[in-house]
C-alpha cells in the first residue's frame, strides 16, 4: 500500500469516503456505484437469508443521552445471533444504534466511526455534532438503492453537544432524512411497542438510573410483542447493550448493573402478574 498523495486539485480533503473512492475501494463502499440494471439482484435471494438486527431506543435526560439495543439478530424466522451488538460508540462524545440488515449496518457504523476519526485527525479538530449527524444522514441516503432491494438500514444518532452542553438525539428514515428528537427515539421492528413504553414512562427530569430502567422496560415490552426482538437472557447472561453519552463521554453500562436492573424489572412484572 503506497502513501496516498494527491495533487491539490483532486485532494479528497477530510472525507474518508472520498479518500476510499479515490483509492480504488469504490465498489466496496457505495451501492450507488455498482452497476445496477434495474433488476434487483438481491430480490433473487430471499431476504430471510440476510441477518437483521432489530430494536434500539434512545432517551434524552438531564445529563445527556442514553442509547440501548436488544441483542437478537434474525434471518427470516430463525434466530441467527443471540448476542449481536447494535449500539456503538461513534467517537468520544457520540454513539450510534442501528436496526436493519446487519451486514450493511455494521459496515455503515464502521465507516461512520472512521469518518469521524479521520476528519478529526486531518483537520485537527472534531466535527460539530450537527456535522456528525449530517454525515450519517448522507451515509443512510447513499444506501437507498440497497434499501430499495430490501437491505434497509435505519440508525439513531445520539451525542453530547460540547458547544451547547446538552445531549441531542437524531432519527433517520431510509432516504437519509434527519429528524432531531427532543425526548426519545426508537428504530427497528419492535420500535412501535418500545416507543409506546418510552412515551408513557418519559418525564423531563429523569436521571441516569431511571432512564436506564425505562429503556430496559421498553426493550422488554418490545421483546414481549415482537418475535424479532430479543428479551434479556439471564440463563446465558446476555442483556441489552445500554450506553450513556454525557459531558464525560461515551460509557457502556456494566453487565452486572444491567443484570441487577433486569432482575428488578422481572420481579416487578412477576409481582404485577401475581397481585389479585
Partner 1 sequence: MNMPFYVAPEQVMKDRADYARKGIARGRSLIAFRFVDGIAICAENKSSTLRKVSEIYDRIAFAGVGKYNEFDQLRIAGVRHADLKGYAFSRGDVDARSLANQYAQILGQIFTHEMKPMEVEILVAEIGADDGDGDQLFHILYDGTVVDEDTSVVLGGETETISDRFGELDGAPELADGLRRAITALSGPDRSLTPAELEIAVLQRGTGRRAFRRLDDPEVAGLVSD
Q: Any idea which residues carry the catalytic annotation?
A: 54
In the chain, where do the E strands start and end?
52-53, 56-61, 64-69, 73-75, 78-81, 87-91, 94-101, 153-161, 166-172, 178-181, 184-187, 241-246, 249-252
Instruction: Considering the complex, state which of residue 2 and residue 39 has its C-beta at the smaller distance from partner 1.
Output: 2
57-65, 109-117, 188-196, 200-208 -> range binding partner 1 (CB under 8 A): 109-117
Instruction: Considering the complex, state which of residue 118 and residue 141 has its C-beta at the smaller distance from partner 1.
Output: 118
Distances (CA, A) of 201 to 39, 61, 66: 45, 13, 15
Q: Which three cell numbers stand for residue 168?
A: 441531542
**Mask of contacts with partner 1, 8-27, x by CB under 8 A?**
----x---x--xx--x-x--
Given candidates 85, 117, 130, 166, which one binds partner 1 under the rule CB under 8 A? 117
Report whether 171 contacts 182 (CB < 8 A). Answer: no
Does 30 help bind partner 1 (rule: CB under 8 A)?
A: no
* Residue 18: how many other CB atoms lie within 10 Å: 14
Does 124 help bind partner 1 (rule: CB under 8 A)?
A: yes
Tell me which H or E stretch contains 63. none
Tell me which H or E stretch contains 107. helix 102-123
Given candidates 40, 81, 85, 122, which one binds partner 1 under the rule CB under 8 A? 122
Instruction: Considering the complex, state which of residue 16 and residue 170 has its C-beta at the smaller distance from partner 1.
Output: 16
The size of the interface with partner 1 (CB under 8 A), counted in residues, is 18
**Mask of contacts with partner 1, 142-181, x by CB under 8 A?**
----------------------------------------
Binding residues (CB under 8 A) for partner 1: these are: 1-5, 12, 16, 19-20, 23, 25, 110, 114, 117-118, 121-122, 124
Amino acid at each position: 500500500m503506497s502513501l496516498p498523495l494527491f495533487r491539490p486539485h483532486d485532494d479528497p480533503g477530510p472525507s474518508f469516503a472520498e479518500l476510499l473512492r479515490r483509492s480504488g475501494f469504490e465498489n466496496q463502499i457505495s451501492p450507488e456505484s455498482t452497476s445496477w440494471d434495474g433488476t434487483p439482484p438481491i430480490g433473487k435471494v430471499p431476504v430471510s437469508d440476510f441477518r437483521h438486527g432489530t430494536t434500539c431506543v434512545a432517551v434524552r435526560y438531564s445529563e445527556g443521552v442514553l442509547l440501548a439495543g436488544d441483542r437478537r439478530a434474525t434471518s427470516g424466522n430463525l434466530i441467527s445471533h443471540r448476542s449481536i451488538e447494535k449500539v456503538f460508540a461513534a467517537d468520544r462524545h457520540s454513539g450510534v444504534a442501528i436496526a436493519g440488515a446487519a451486514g450493511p449496518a455494521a459496515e455503515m457504523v464502521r465507516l461512520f466511526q472512521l469518518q469521524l476519526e479521520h476528519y478529526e485527525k486531518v483537520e485537527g479538530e472534531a466535527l460539530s455534532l450537527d456535522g456528525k449527524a449530517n454525515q450519517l444522514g448522507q451515509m443512510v441516503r447513499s444506501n437507498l438503492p440497497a434499501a430499495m432491494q430490501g437491505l434497509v438500514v435505519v440508525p439513531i444518532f445520539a451525542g453530547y453537544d460540547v458547544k451547547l452542553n446538552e445531549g441531542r438525539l437524531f432519527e433517520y428514515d431510509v432516504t437519509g432524512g434527519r429528524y432531531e428528537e427532543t425526548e426519545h427515539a426508537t428504530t427497528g421492528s419492535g420500535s412501535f411497542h418500545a416507543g409506546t413504553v418510552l412515551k408513557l414512562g418519559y418525564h423531563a427530569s429523569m436521571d441516569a438510573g431511571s432512564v436506564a430502567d425505562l429503556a430496559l422496560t421498553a426493550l422488554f415490552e418490545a421483546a414481549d410483542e415482537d418475535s424479532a426482538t430479543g428479551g434479556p437472557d439471564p440463563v446465558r447472561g446476555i442483556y441489552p447493550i445500554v450506553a450513556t453519552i454525557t459531558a464525560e463521554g461515551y460509557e457502556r453500562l456494566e453487565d452486572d448493573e444491567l443484570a441487577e436492573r433486569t432482575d428488578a424489572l422481572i420481579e416487578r412484572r412477576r409481582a404485577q402478574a401475581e397481585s389479585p
